[in-house]
């Protein structure tokens, strides 16, 4: 049972299964006793809410990093495109308004710090050690590799690395998240904490 979970959580746009959400909450509740959590790829804030509720217990912070222009699969004409999140005047996706509304309604404005920027540009200036990094950003190989290489260096020892959307079968989903998950396992820097559905969990050694 997750305390203070908004009654509308199932209506918030997102791609997080219930068992994955519970695992994120559990690991963030543990990790945030040691420091802040970084989420890469917040979309409309569904996963951010689970992370935020966990961090709020420890007076910790979630940095929610997303340019809010949508991943490759969210663009106009693509399979996961949502017309309700498309700014026709700009000709661009814009998930930030929806994200802010969902975070505000969950009473997490004092816990969640939005970072509206690209992953690499932000990482280049980052100074704060992180207790947990959740990678759920762009699913191209380029984007996934950038997220992994830029942010694992900021993860403190004992910290949690979580990677979403792991599919061994290319017919079931994109392969980039699974590729960086295998890289992490092969690096010798992480202990395998197992998987929950399509969520991979590792601990920095």
CB atoms within 10 A of CB 23: 20
Cβ atoms of residues 80 and 74 within 8 Å? yes
> Averaged over 160-184, what is the pLDDT?
90
CA 189 to chain centre: 21
User: Which of 27, 139, 154, 171 does the annotation list as catalytic?
Assistant: 139
pLDDT digits (tens, 9 = 90+) for 173-201: 779 999 999 999 999 999 999 999 999 99
Nearest CA to 9 among 36, 41, 49, 43?
49
> Given this model, what pLDDT does residue 83 score?
64
pLDDT digits (tens, 9 = 90+) for 38-50: 999 999 999 999 9
CA atoms within 13 A on the CB side of 137: 29
> Given this model, what pLDDT does residue 68 score?
83
Distances from the Cα of 196 to the Cαs of 24, 36, 102, 114, 138, in angstroms? 10, 22, 25, 26, 20
Using pLDDT thresholds of 50, 70 and 90, give the confidence band for residue 1: confident
> Given this model, what pLDDT does residue 139 score?
86
> Given this model, what pLDDT does residue 82 score?
62
Question: What are the residue boundaries of the structural domains of the chain, listed by start?
Answer: 35-204
- Axis crossing angle, helix 46-56 with helix 96-105, rounded to the nearest 10: 40
Q: Assign domain 35-204 to its CATH architecture.
A: 3-Layer(aba) Sandwich (3.40)
pLDDT digits (tens, 9 = 90+) for 89-139: 665 578 899 999 999 999 999 999 999 999 999 999 999 999 999 999 988
> Given this model, what pLDDT does residue 27 score?
98
Using pLDDT thresholds of 50, 70 and 90, give the confidence band for residue 30: very high
The pair phi, psi for residue 11, each rounded to 5°, is -90, -10
| 74 assigned to active site | no
> Given this model, what pLDDT does residue 179 score?
96
pLDDT digits (tens, 9 = 90+) for 50-86: 999 999 999 999 999 998 876 666 655 555 666 666 6
Burial 30-40 (b: 16+ CB within 10 A, else e): ebbebbbbbbb
CA distance 94 to 91: 9
Nearest CA to 65 among 130, 1, 5?
130
Instruction: Give the list of residues 6+ apart from residue 139 with CB closer than 8 angstroms, or none.
Output: 71, 72, 73, 165, 174, 176, 177
């Amino acid at each position: 049972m997750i305390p203070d979970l908004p009654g509308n959580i199932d209506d918030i746009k997102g791609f997080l299964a219930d068992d994955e959400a519970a695992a994120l909450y559990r690991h963030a509740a543990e990790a945030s006793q040691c420091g802040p959590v970084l989420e890469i790829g917040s979309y409309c804030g569904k996963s951010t809410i689970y992370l935020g509720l966990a961090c709020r217990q420890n007076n910790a912070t979630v940095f929610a990093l997303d340019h809010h222009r949508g991943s490759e699969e969210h663009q106009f004409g693509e399979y996961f495109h949502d017309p309700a999140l498309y700014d026709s005047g700009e000709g661009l996706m814009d998930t930030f308004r929806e994200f802010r509304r969902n975070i505000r309604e969950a009473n997490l404005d004092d816990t969640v710090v939005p970072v509206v920027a690209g992953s690499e540009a932000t990482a280049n200036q980052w100074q704060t050690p992180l207790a947990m990094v959740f990678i759920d950003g762009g699913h191209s190989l380029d984007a996934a590799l950038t997220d992994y290489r830029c942010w694992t260096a900021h993860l403190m020892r004992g910290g949690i690395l979580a990677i979403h959307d792991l599919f061994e079968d290319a017919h079931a989903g994109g392969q980039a998240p699974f590729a960086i998950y295998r890289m992490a396992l092969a690096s010798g820097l992480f202990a395998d904490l197992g998987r929950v559905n399509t969520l991979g969990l590792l601990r920095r050694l």
